[in-house]
Amino acid sequence: VSHVDPDRLIVVDGPVDTHVVAAYERTRREALRRGLTAGGAVLAATSIPLLLKVRNAFAEAEGDKKILKAAIALEQTAAFAYTTASESPALHIATRRIAVHIGDQEQEHAAGLIAALEPLGGGAPEAPVNISDVAGLQDAADDQRRMLGFALELETMAVAAYYDAHRKLDDPELLQTSAQIMANEGQHLVILRQAAGREPVPNAFETGRTAG
Amino acid sequence: VDIDRYLSDGRSRRSFFGAVGVGVAGGSAVFLAACGSDDSSGGSGSQPVETVTDDAAILNQALALEQLAVAAYTLAAPMLTGPLGFTARHFLDQEQQHADGLAEAIRRLGAQPVRARTSYDFPSMSSQDDVLRFAGDIENTAVAAYIDALPKLQDRTLRATVASIVTDEAEHIAVLLGARHRQQAPSAFVSGKA
């Protein structure tokens, strides 16, 4: 067990590449410095690369087509993660019900974004097929607290990614669709925060720069 | 007007939101150029927002709606007991933060923020459920109006800020729905069209 940051980031299942942790920590520390974090998350070490990938996919994308592809990959990953959680006997039945509902909505996001990508001539990225395709998911799905922490981080990163996308998207309809999805991810955060016993709406401006 | 009639009668909602410069039709909402201030100094003309390209004008219309939300939660908080009262005060504080942020952005654009109206013609409410439904209606209307306005903003940073406000309003909706034992995230695409 290693504690990268005893107040915020707790790595529970052993070592991970130092540079990956360092990169993740830069994101976390930026939020901490700005006083925006609220509540720590328990993460599996292997989930850090996934969350970094989610956070950076939008940040690196330029142009509506690339942003859409990044968003589709994110939604497909989220849908797969929630489907896996919904089938995990290790989780409380209430958590599994939440996972079914949120997973269905992530799938709707993916389908809507794929439909928006088609006129732009792009093919959708491949969706995860096996649990090993999503780093850290197996560990998270085996533990109620870790799964909630994993989902909270995933949704927070998704909100941050869509927030960033609003500075880059050009198409008016895509802007509106992105806002509608970001708002829904915010509602997922409310459900997950309440399930985790946290303040459901801690920030007046939901930018995804906050944990919780 | 009582809350049931207000929510079911399109004319009542049009009149209520029209007073703060928001046009509602069916489930959609749009910022209109006529602002909600009693003082017309912050107004931006008589054209609908579709033809307004000035970011400050759009933000002023959003500010008028946030001022309405602040007034609504100020009214609602004492009518709600226990945790719901705390929630209403918390949301009131967040709506005020939106209003303050919008006013600051308007000033940075060199324009004058609208002043809040001195009174609003709220529907009559007699139960906690009435208050929760009314708050939900305001939040949904705000989400719809913001999403309509989003692509009209020229400043890309302002677009992101508006998206962060939309997401906060959607979170309020989720909490309000939960308080009424309803599905908290009923739609994968939150349009504000309740």
pLDDT digits (tens, 9 = 90+) for B34-67: 544 444 444 444 455 443 458 999 999 999 999 9
pLDDT at A136: 85
| pLDDT for B39 | 45
Q: Which helix (H) or strand (E) is A93 found in, with range?
A: helix A93-117
How distant, in Å, are the alpha carbons of B70, B132, B133 from that of B79? 15, 10, 13
**Interchain contact, A183 vs B156, CB within 8 Å:** no
Determine whether the interchain pair A183/B169 forms a contact, defined as Cβ–Cβ distance below 8 Å. yes
**Banded model confidence at residue B193, pLDDT cuts 50, 70, 90:** confident
Shortest CA distance to B174 belongs to which of B144, B129, B135? B135
Q: How far apart are CA A76 and CA A61, in angstroms?
A: 17
Q: Is residue B129 scored above 80 in pLDDT?
A: yes
pLDDT at A122: 77
Confidence band of B194 (pLDDT split at 50, 70, 90): low
- Looking at the predicted structure, is the pLDDT value of residue B175 above 50? yes
Task: Tell me which residues of chain B, numbers 95 to 114, contact chain A at a CB-CB cutoff of 8 Å.
Answer: 95, 97-98, 101
Q: Do residues B141 and B24 make contact, with C-beta atoms less than 8 angstroms apart?
A: yes
Query: How confident is the prediction for chain B on average, in pLDDT?
Result: 90
Long-range contacts of residues B72-80, Cβ cutoff 8 Å, at least 24 apart: B72/B120, B72/B122, B72/B134, B72/B135, B72/B138, B73/B135, B75/B122, B76/B131, B76/B134, B76/B135, B79/B125, B79/B128, B79/B131, B80/B128, B80/B131, B80/B132
pTM value is 0.86
User: How far is CA B49 from each of CA A180, B56, B137, B167, rounded to the nearest angstrom?
Assistant: 20, 11, 21, 22
- Among the partner residues A101, A109, A163, nearest to B164 by beta-carbon distance: A163
* Dihedral (CA of A153, A155, A158, A160) sign: negative
* Predicted pLDDT of residue A42: 43
3-state secondary structure of A43: strand
Within an 8 Å CB–CB cutoff, is residue A210 touching chain B? no
Chain B, nearest residue to A194 by Cα: B175
Q: Provide the pLDDT for residue A49.
A: 66
Distance of CA B103 to the CA centre of its chain: 15
State how far the Cα of B99 lies from the Cα of B102, in Å rounded to an integer: 5
Cα within 13 Å of Cα(A88), Cβ side: 26
Q: Which DSSP symbol is given to B19?
A: T
Candidates B147, B156, B171, B181: best to mutate against A (most CBs of A within 10 A) is B171
Task: pLDDT tens for chain A, 212 residues: list them.
Answer: 233 333 334 444 444 445 555 555 555 555 444 333 333 344 445 555 666 776 677 777 778 999 999 999 999 999 999 999 999 999 999 999 999 999 999 999 999 999 999 998 878 999 999 999 888 898 899 999 999 999 998 999 899 889 999 999 999 999 999 999 999 999 999 999 999 999 999 999 999 875 44
Res B90 pLDDT > 90: yes
